[in-house]
A and B are shown apart, each in its own frame.
Chain A
Amino acid sequence: MLLEAAGIRKSFAGVHALRGVSFDLRPGEVHALVGENGAGKSTLVKIIAGAQTADAGSLRVAGQLVEHYTPAMARALGVAVVYQQPALFPHLTVAENIALALESGGPSRGLWRRVDWRASDGRARELLARAGCVIDPRRLVSSLSMPEQQLVEIAKAIGARSRVLILDEPTASLGTREAESLFGVIDSLRAAGAGIVYISHRLEEIVRIADRATVLRDGQTVATLARGAFGPAELIRLMVGREISAIFPKCELPLGEVVLETRALGSRAAGIRDVSLSVRAGEILGLAGLGGSGRTEFAETLFGLTPADAGEILLGGRPVRIGSPSEAIHRHRIAYLPEDRCRHGVVLEMPITANTTLAHLEAVSRHGWLDNAAERSLTRGLVERLRVKTDSLYTPAGALSGGNQQKVALARWLGTRPAVLILDEPTQGVDVGSKSEIHALMTDLAKQGVAMIMISSDLPEIVGMSDRIAVMHRGSLAGILNRGEATQERVLSLALGAAGAA
């Protein structure tokens, strides 16, 4: 066994990411690891790579039980990880990057030894050839495309004589031909006796190249299947296979007029094309898709962050151009609750009051003069309505819990009285109590006739809360499901681009 993990547990700040995962890897096999977003794949990979330490469970690498495991130990034991985002030094050449990875044997080799650059060029050329590509080792990494950078990472792993190679979504940015050549490299590594952990959302690839597949769901191992025992449908069933655990406060309302419509909307900068959909007053339109499928980019286009360069946006039936967030907010009454609240949502240093009124200062000021009493009373109203737990309205947002920060971010947009509210992962990283309060609030807003677009990776949430679900795949719309016909399996099939699944 190259790798044996048993009963691995890991939690972050009380939230369980892994709850008893077992996984093993034999020499000369490709073992696929599959699961929805948030199933625990990345956490498991980080633990195997030594980047994080498990809370409980045992990990054997190359037959050796490891404790106090670090990334350096992982490397010494022959574990290499190629992440989705290559971790290379952009200002150094390919050869320098490879040499740094292979020759820096730590301080034991001496900090002052000379680097033999000429030898490293030849070495890099050879390793790149074994990785199945022709890249000039003297090129700067910043001039390489994403697939080329990934191949450099693989060359590094080959050069380190890694016995365990973990590939995290290696084909996400590759074209068909590049993917084929990668499969060739994987075959030759497998033939040489290495073990490969292969993570991908592309189920057809997994069926094609994996010898075994392990399915993770909610931080647990659901099943490990041998080649021949799994097909795409079986994998999807195992990945989803959960009951809708929470009761969603969904209330089916008669829908109003179409408020927002897009016709063949596209934006090259945002990487989306040909998106046609509509939202009615009082409707919650779920927007599903994998990370990187263009959901957030579509929202950013509607909000004027990356203005559209193709197609039309219609508001109340009239075509409009949305060139900036300010136009979206003030002229078109569109609100956007961004995905990463710490980076884009609340301003951590600012008090709750200033955070709440930031997008509609005109409501609490006259001719640019702020009315502190008006600001206080508006904030107090929203804080009470959203049940933000705080001692004072002047507490800095950074001192609140995640759920309460999200409520403050939401309060900002409720204050603008939007006609269209876009919520990007509104309950991600939010505690269960705040989550159901946010859902109740959405139902409330629907009753008031607000048109909502809810982006979510949480399948039960999207199926439970949406009137209709639009599913995106690689920058365009894969399909739209009505509430009656939407199941988690169908949403996931569309998101994975499984042909004819809907």
Chain B
Amino acid sequence: MRRGREVALALAILAVAAVMALGAPGFFRFENQRDLVMANMPVAIVALGMTLVILTGQIDISVGSQFAVLSVAAGVLAKSGLPTPAAAVATCLAGALAGALNGALVAYARIPSIVVTLATMVALRDGLRWVTQGAWVQDLPPGFQWFGQSQASSEALTFGAVVLLVAAFAWGLGNLAAGRAFYAAGSNPEAARLAGIDPARVVFAAFTITGALTGLAAFANAVRFSQIPSNAGLGLELQVIAAVIVGGVAVTGGQGSVAGVLEGVILLGMIGPALIFLNISAYWERAIQGAIILAAVALDHGKATRALRRADAAALENHAQRA
């Protein structure tokens, strides 16, 4: 296994950290680091699902809208008197349902995923605006915020859960038969089909899991505040997709690792706050993130071109025998 991307990202993160250590040691204060981690938590959770989706060669741009709908759903469920843990599970299930809709349209109706999720992105966001009339969910039950616990212990709990989740995905993609199926279906669906794997089912699963994780992310985010906005998750899809691509998951499917994606989330997430600490205009944040994405894609392209040449040479050899 080649680990080039993971190493390169680790070095980039260390480089930014070194600049911060010299330029603005305040960046490493516990409170700041804690805020940074909590703010990027939804991105990290949803990125796990997006990794599966992009591994299978698809894309899901509806996660931001799903996030908004599911945040509101979490609040409404909690207000309806459901105990907080049950509300959390129900939110994940609702997310899975939304993801399954995307998945069914992509995998079985065979509509391109960019079209399907563009449609659900617009429909969910505007549907929510129409239903809520822009109103926020307020008067949440007392046990809702921070699960009724202290902020510190709840944050520790959420953080621990996310660490476990990331570890489970990283391990599962490498060590479960199901993980193998995502790589095979994304890399060469026809070969996967001939090996007895059903690529449509794999794609369906990727979208459904992404929906469930978006539900989880929405819930974990909602409990941090005393009220829930009806326009949450604006631009979340872009942050998530950027992190996954910077993390080295090939947009053409079949290649990538959770470790890389996690590093992508960290690197992109630390740029904005780092600029603030360095007293550089925050307007640079997007430009720098864009440059990082371009660099990552350029690296992928070089890799893909080399792989293509290999495949071409093999095909030519085949052809020579046939012609």
Question: Using Cβ atoms and an 8 Å threshold, which residues of chain B touch A336?
Answer: 194
Chain A interface residue bracket vs B: 35 or more
- Chain B residues with CB under 8 A of A247: none
User: A348–B191 Cα gap in the complex (Å)?
Assistant: 10
Type the 1/0 row for A329-355, where 1 means its CB is closer than 8 Å to any CB of B.
Answer: 110000010101111111111110010
Q: How many A-B residue pairs have CB under 8 A?
A: 129
Known: A343-B190, A346-B191. A329 touches B320 (CB 8 A): no
Does residue A24 face the partner (Cβ distance < 8 Å to B)? no
Contact of A405 among B175, B187, B196, B314 (CB under 8 A): B314
Indicate which residue in B179, B188, B307 contacts A343 across the interface (CB closer than 8 Å): B188
Q: Which of A386-401 contact B (CB under 8 A)?
A: 394, 398-399, 401
Which chain B residues numbered 172 to 197 have a C-beta less than 8 Å away from chain A? 175-180, 183-184, 187-188, 190-197
Residue in A46, A342, A362, A394 with the greatest tally of chain B CB atoms within 10 Å: A342
Residues on A with C-beta less than 8 A from B314 are: 342, 348, 398, 402, 405
Cα of A448 to Cα of B177 in the assembled complex, Å = 29
Residues of B289-323 contacting chain A, CB below 8 A: 307, 310-311, 313-323
Q: How many Å from the CB of A474 to the closest CB on chain B?
A: 21
Contact call A342/B184, Cβ cutoff below 8 A: no
Q: Which chain A residues border B196 with CB–CB below 8 Å?
A: 325-326, 328-330, 359
B318-A358 in contact (CB<8A): no
Interface membership of B255, Cβ < 8 A:
yes
Across the interface, do B195 and A13 meet the contact criterion of CB distance under 8 Å?
no
Smallest distance from the beta carbon of B191 to chain A beta carbons, Å?
5
B187 touches A361 (CB 8 A): no
Interface string of B186-225 (1 = CB under 8 A from A): 0110111111111000000000000000000000000000
* Complex contacts, B307 vs chain A, CB 8 Å: 348-349, 398
B42 at the A interface (CB under 8 A): no
Whether, in the assembled complex, A365 has its beta carbon less than 8 Å from a beta carbon of chain B, the answer is yes
Note all chain A residues with C-beta closer than 8 A to B318.
340-342, 402, 428-429
Say yes or no: A358-B320 contact (C-beta < 8 A), given A343-B191, A368-B178, A398-B314.
no
Size class of the B contact interface (CB-based, 8 Å): 35 or more
- Whether B1 sits at the interface, judged by CB under 8 Å, is yes
**A44 — nearest CB in chain B belongs to which residue?**
B323
Verify if B272 is at the interface (C-beta below 8 Å from A): no
Are B323 and A429 in contact (CB-based, < 8 A)?
no
User: Are B188 and A429 in contact, with the CB atoms below 8 A?
Assistant: no
Tell whether, in the assembled complex, residue A362 and residue B177 are in contact, meaning their CB atoms are under 8 Å apart. yes
- Does B254 reach chain A (CB closer than 8 Å)? yes
Q: Name the segment of A35-43, A273-281, A490-498 touching the other chain.
A: A35-43
Residues of A within 8 A of B316 (CB): 12-13
Asked if A358 contacts B317 (CB within 8 A), the reply is: no
Asked whether A354 lies within 8 Å of B183 as measured between CB atoms, the reply is yes
Which B residues touch A342, using CB under 8 A? 311, 314-315, 318
Contact A40 B323 (CB under 8 A): yes
Q: Which residues of B contact A372 (CB under 8 A)?
A: 175
Given the complex, which residues of A lie within 8 Å of B319, measured CB to CB? 12, 429
Q: Quick one: closest A residue to B1, CB to CB?
A: A394
8 smallest CB-CB distances across A and B, nearest first, come from A12-B320, A429-B321, A429-B318, A361-B177, A15-B320, A359-B195, A329-B196, A326-B196
Q: Can you name 9 A-B pairs with beta carbons within 8 Å?
A: A13-B316, A13-B317, A15-B321, A329-B195, A348-B311, A349-B254, A358-B184, A398-B314, A428-B321
Given pairs A38-B321, A343-B188, 4 additional interface contacts (CB within 8 A): A328-B196, A347-B192, A401-B317, A405-B314
